[in-house]
Amino acid sequence: MSDSQVRKGLNGVISDYTSISKVMPESNSLTYRGYAVEDLVENCSFEEVIYLLWFGELPTTEQLRTFNTTGRSYRSLDAGLISLIHSLPNTCHPMDVLRTAVSYMGTFDPDPFTRDADHIRSIGHNLLAQLPMVVAMDIRRRSGEEIIAPDHNKGIASNFLSMVFGNDDGSVANSADDIRDFERSLILYAEHSFNASTFSARVISSTRSDTYSAITGAIGALKGPLHGGANEFVMHTMLDIDDPNNAADWMGKALDRKERIMGFGHRVYKNGDSRVPSMEKSMRSLAARHRGQKWVRMYESMQEVMEARTGIKPNLDFPAGPAYYMLGFPVDFFTPLFVLARVSGWTAHIVEQFENNALIRPLSAYNGVEEREVVPISERT
């Protein structure tokens, strides 16, 4: 096998077909089932987009009503899960809590080896209903606050925000504009073809393993800072810089040291991430309402230096980081927010993988020592 046959990181390799989303780096565009993501962000709820990802078409009013009724019926956590979460250390990363929660939930799957699409979508509903509750509970337990009960009349974004930031009497703490900006981020984070976490889910499903295992694995892949973990690192960087007037200097020095600047660059998009303009719009609208002009100035300054020094453009995590910060989320919960969205895309991909499955098992080029004989232990030096 020659060096030219090895594609490190599977860079440029097309491993299968998908009809779920299309990433078009030449035109900086992204479609979900043929609809431009910026069109969906402006015109649809997160639930409409989930329906689209799972069934291929946008729902009618009646279809959406039934879909929401089903999804909301899963909004309750069993006592075992609640006590498991409370038993986990407050010091662990919140992604570990989510990963553990999904793995635990998988132990109740009555039919783990089925490849039936309805069963997989029912797991998707379960996760979309319960993981926001797990995240809300984890945020609140870490600051010693009581859980807030879910509201079955609210959509996913609105219910989640009230469970995190609401008042005990059920009154909401977030404005309709905040809810909408958060919901826009969920739509933008929902799906992105064969990214590392989705591909991980598909690899696991390709062995005919169960959906909870595939999603547990996907959460592990998403946690890394080169993938979903980047949105947290963006904010850590911004908090470290602190003053927008220092951003150019900080960036210059970091680039001199050849450091990776989180929130910039992408394996597929080399001329800009199609999702950034929509998320940037939300970040700016949040800044206007939450006195966040400092973060906008820092965003602009960092982007300017990066462009001038490297030409590398921001990815979705760059505006999402400060947007989540202005909404009031603790920084180490930013990647779990990404999970709450991407679980919709993972579910669609698991269904698609099973529709036309082939075990994913690439080759490797061996570069270790040549063949040799075992020397008995008494003769080894």
Q: Which residues are catalytic?
A: 227, 266, 317
Which is nearest to 330 in space by CA: 81, 93, 160? Answer: 93
Q: For ligand COA, which is the closer residue by CB, 51 or 295? A: 295
Of the listed pieces 110-118, 198-206, 261-269, 359-367, which binds ligand COA according to CB under 6 A? Answer: 261-269
CA 189, 191, 192 angle in degrees (round to 5)?
100
The reply on whether position 265 binds ligand COA by CB under 6 A is yes
Residue 67: Cβ within 10 Å count: 19
The reply on whether position 262 binds ligand COA by CB under 6 A is yes
Site string for ligand COA, 212-251 (x = CB under 6 A): --------------xx--x---------------------
What is the nearest approach in angstroms of ligand COA to the Cβ of residue 66? 34
Handedness of CA 166, 316, 56, 123 (dihedral sign): negative
Q: Quickly count helices (H) and strands (E) in the chain.
A: 16, 3
CA–CA separation, 253 and 309 (whole Å): 11
CA–CA separation, 130 and 75 (whole Å): 6
What is the nearest approach in angstroms of ligand COA to the Cβ of residue 338? 10
CA–CA separation, 189 and 55 (whole Å): 18
The reply on whether position 93 binds ligand COA by CB under 6 A is no
The reply on whether position 140 binds ligand COA by CB under 6 A is no
What is the nearest approach in angstroms of ligand COA to the Cβ of residue 322? 14
What is the nearest approach in angstroms of ligand COA to the Cβ of residue 315? 4
Of the listed pieces 100-108, 158-166, 260-268, 279-287, which binds ligand COA according to CB under 6 A? Answer: 260-268
- Strand 29-32's sheet: what is its strand order? 21-24, 29-32, 35-36
Cβ-closest residue to ligand COA? 265
Q: Tell me the number of residues near ligand COA by CB under 6 A.
A: 16
Which is nearest to 16 in space by CA: 202, 208, 219? Answer: 202
Q: Per DSSP, what are the bridge partners of residue 24?
A: 29
CA–CA separation, 341 and 157 (whole Å): 10
- Site residues for ligand COA, 309-338, by CB under 6 A, read 310, 312, 315, 317
Site string for ligand COA, 266-285 (x = CB under 6 A): xx------------------
The reply on whether position 349 binds ligand COA by CB under 6 A is no
Q: For ligand COA, which is the closer residue by CB, 11 or 153? A: 11
The torsion of the CA quartet 239, 245, 249, 254, rounded to 10 degrees, works out to: 20
Q: For ligand COA, which is the closer residue by CB, 93 or 227? A: 227
| Residue ranges that bind ligand COA, judged by CB under 6 A | 9, 226-227, 230, 260-267, 310, 312, 315, 317
